C-alpha cells in the first residue's frame, strides 16, 4: 500500500521585502505533526510554497496604477487577447519573461497589499534553490525538495490549478516511455508533469483563501533528488514544441493544421 500525505501549517505570517523565506517557515515545518507520530520534515518530503510570499520577500511589487505597463514589461509574446465581452473584463494571455504562458504575465493583485500588485519571482528556480539551501542550513542538513507554485488556467478546461513555477531537488518530469502498461502494451509518449501534480496536490490544503501559503507533501520520495536539478523552467512548452502558438487562420495558412478526412 502507498499513501500520499499533505500538511499545511496555519499561522505563517505575511512576508515583507528582504525577509528570509526559509528562516520564517522553518519553525512551522519543524513542528509539523504527522499521523505516524513523527514531527518535522524529512529529506524525502517536498516543501511547496506559494510564489506570492517569495515575490513579497524579493520585493517584486509595483503600484496597482502601473498594472498595464508592468504587464507589458513582463511579457515577451502576446498569445491571445479578449476585449470586453458581456460583463467580463478584458484578458491578455502572454508568454512572460519566466517562460510561462499565462494571463497578465502572472501579475496579480490578490493576496497583496492594498494599492499594489505582485510580479512573479525574477528567477523562480533560483529562488527555490536559495530557499532549499536555507532550509538545509536550519534543519540540520535535511534537504527536502522545494516547489514554488502559482495558479493558471488551461486551454479547453474551466478553472485554474496550481503548477510548479520553480523547483529545486525535484524530478519535475516522470518519463514512462519504454515501460509497459497494465495490459502489457508499451508506453510510447507518456511523460507525466510530476512537479505540477505535486503542486496541485498541495494546493488542496494551501488554496488561495486559507491563509496557508506553505504545505509539505510526503509520499513522493521518488521525485526528490539530492542535487537541485534543472528546475521547473523545462516544463514550459514554447517555441517549436508549442502546437498552439498560432491562431487557427495562421496555422492553416502555414500548413500546420489539416482538415479531418
pTM over 0.85: yes
User: Which of 55-69, 71-85, 102-116, 162-176 comes out lowest in average pLDDT?
Assistant: 71-85
* pLDDT given for residue 161 in this prediction: 93
Residue boundaries of the structural domains of the chain: 5-58+121-253, 61-120
Which residue has 505516524 as its cell numbers?
36
Specify whether the CB–CB gap between 132 and 111 falls below 8 A.
Answer: no
Distance between the two ends of the chain, CA-based, in angstroms?
Answer: 47
Same topology for domains 5-58+121-253 and 61-120, yes or no? no
In b/e form, how buried is each residue of 143-178, taking b as 16+ CB within 10 angstroms?
bbbbbbbbbeeeeeeeeeebbbbbbbbbbbbeeeee
pLDDT on residue 209: 72
Question: In this structure, which CATH number among 3.40.30.10, 3.50.50.60, 1.10.10.60, 3.90.1660.10 belongs to the domain 61-120?
Answer: 3.90.1660.10
Lowest model confidence (mean pLDDT) among 44-48, 115-119, 156-160 = 156-160
Fold of 5-58+121-253: 60s Ribosomal Protein L30; Chain: A; (3.30.1330)
Instruction: Judge contact between 129 and 228, C-beta under 8 A.
Output: yes
Q: Which residue has the higher pLDDT, 203 or 78?
A: 203
Amino acid at each position: 500500500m502507498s499513501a500520499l500525505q499533505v500538511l499545511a501549517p496555519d499561522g505563517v505570517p505575511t512576508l515583507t521585502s528582504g525577509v528570509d523565506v526559509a528562516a520564517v517557515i522553518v519553525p512551522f515545518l519543524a513542528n509539523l505533526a504527522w499521523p505516524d507520530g513523527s514531527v518535522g520534515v524529512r529529506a524525502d518530503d517536498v516543501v511547496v510554497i506559494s510564489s506570492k510570499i517569495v515575490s513579497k520577500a524579493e520585493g517584486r511589487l509595483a503600484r496597482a496604477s502601473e498594472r498595464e505597463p508592468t504587464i507589458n514589461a513582463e511579457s515577451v509574446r502576446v498569445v491571445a487577447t479578449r476585449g470586453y465581452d458581456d460583463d467580463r473584463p478584458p484578458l491578455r494571455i502572454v508568454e512572460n519573461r519566466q517562460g510561462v504562458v499565462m494571463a497578465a504575465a502572472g501579475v496579480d493583485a490578490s493576496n497583496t497589499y492594498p494599492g499594489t500588485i505582485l510580479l512573479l519571482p525574477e528567477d523562480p528556480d533560483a529562488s527555490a534553490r536559495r530557499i532549499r539551501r536555507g532550509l538545509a542550513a536550519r534543519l540540520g542538513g535535511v534537504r527536502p525538495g522545494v516547489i514554488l507554485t502559482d495558479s493558471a488556467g488551461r486551454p479547453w478546461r474551466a478553472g485554474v490549478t496550481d503548477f510548479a513555477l520553480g523547483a529545486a531537488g525535484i524530478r519535475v518530469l516522470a518519463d514512462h516511455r519504454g515501460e509497459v502498461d497494465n495490459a502489457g502494451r508499451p508506453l510510447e509518449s507518456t511523460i507525466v508533469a510530476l512537479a505540477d501534480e505535486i503542486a496541485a496536490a498541495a494546493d488542496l490544503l494551501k488554496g488561495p483563501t486559507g491563509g496557508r501559503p506553505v504545505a509539505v507533501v510526503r509520499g513522493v520520495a521518488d521525485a526528490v533528488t539530492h542535487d537541485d536539478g534543472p528546475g521547473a523552467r523545462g516544463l514550459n512548452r514554447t517555441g517549436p514544441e508549442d502546437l498552439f502558438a498560432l491562431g487557427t487562420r495562421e496555422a492553416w495558412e502555414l500548413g500546420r493544421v489539416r482538415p479531418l478526412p
